[in-house]
Structure 1
């Protein structure tokens, strides 16, 4: 089902489709993070990626909870956006030989992922509220709060040392 497919006729349909999109994205992220963990040389960055992997696994469980609350079975739809962000991260990481520059590249890629997730969760929360589902919005808000916190931590790491070392 494409985003502008005839299968999406209502805001509820769009909500479910977007839920399937972020569910796919979070699952792809759990596959990408172990590679990022293994490539990161900065111990704090590696630890941050490990922590985010655990958070992402919990976020997937929350998404499954939202599917159930909304009377749906958890299902994924391909998300070309996250696939592209992850592909770009892998390509850039493969081209960087300086380990400190690699850490900066990995951190930037992680922030691109976070920003994508933030936009999706924000939209889903707004739609859940519009659909009269504050229960779903509340669960999705937990994921959004974690994404904001992760982005803030990544920014602090970049500004405090990772970017300086790469320079």
Structure 2
């Protein structure tokens, strides 16, 4: 009988020790997570996310104007398709914020504001219905793409460094789509629009 009681006590003690160990591990994990959130790198990462979140929203609006201003149906379709993609990019960014336990917020991106302003200047300074306008719109759109490619490329690497693997996957999908759009714009310019623009008076 004494042996059974001793065994029960030993078992209870072992269970209590396991519970304490689990609690300590959870506490350590919580401390590590808090330390990560307080780190300069995390703050920089969140700041960069806010920047591109603002940028994507501004790009969505600009793409509508570029589509209306474009001359060829081919380029209009590219801008229309990329508007749909950009909506997905915004949704993905909101998921990334959620994955790292942050609230989606926008921070004015001066770079994209400037690039979009250049695009508007191109529309105002080129003739409606001309291929030259389409040449200018492609260059303006590629400046946007290159900014996004640089930003998402950096964000993917930061997410990997901080072990935000799911966030890295989402950001990488957007990066790939931005690269594909950039290549498509180059292809359209090289195969038709640049040549046609050269023949204009």
TM-score (norm 1): 0.93
More helix by share: 2
Give the distance between the partners of 1:66 and 1:156, measured in 2 at CA. 32
Task: Using the TM superposition, give the Cα deviation of residue 158 of structure 1 relative to its aligned residue in structure 2, in angstroms.
Answer: 0.5
Report the counterpart of residue 10 of structure 1 in structure 2. 40
More relative contact order, 1 or 2 (CA 8 Å, 6+ apart):
1
Mapped pair 1:148 → 2:179: yes
Report the counterpart of residue 70 of structure 2 in structure 1. 40
Report the counterpart of residue 114 of structure 1 in structure 2. 145
Task: Using the TM superposition, give the Cα deviation of residue 135 of structure 1 relative to its aligned residue in structure 2, in angstroms.
Answer: 1.1
Determine which of 76, 100, 107 is the counterpart of 1:77. Answer: 107
Task: Using the TM superposition, give the Cα deviation of residue 166 of structure 1 relative to its aligned residue in structure 2, in angstroms.
Answer: 1.1
Q: Secondary structure of 1:157's match? A: helix
Report the counterpart of residue 22 of structure 1 in structure 2. 52
Count of aligned residue pairs for this structure pair: 160
Task: Using the TM superposition, give the Cα deviation of residue 160 of structure 1 relative to its aligned residue in structure 2, in angstroms.
Answer: 0.4
**CA RMSD between the two structures:** 1.1
Q: Secondary structure of 1:23's match? A: helix
Moved over 4 A (4+): none
Determine which of 115, 122, 136 is the counterpart of 1:105. Answer: 136
Deviations 1:82-133 (A, max 9, x none): 0000001101210011611000000110000000000000000010011111
Report the counterpart of residue 4 of structure 1 in structure 2. none
Give the distance between the partners of 2:39 and 2:112, measured in 1 at CA. 24
Contiguous gaps of at least 5 residues in structure 2: 1-37
Task: Using the TM superposition, give the Cα deviation of residue 9 of structure 1 relative to its aligned residue in structure 2, in angstroms.
Answer: 5.9
> Which of the two has higher C-alpha Rg?
2
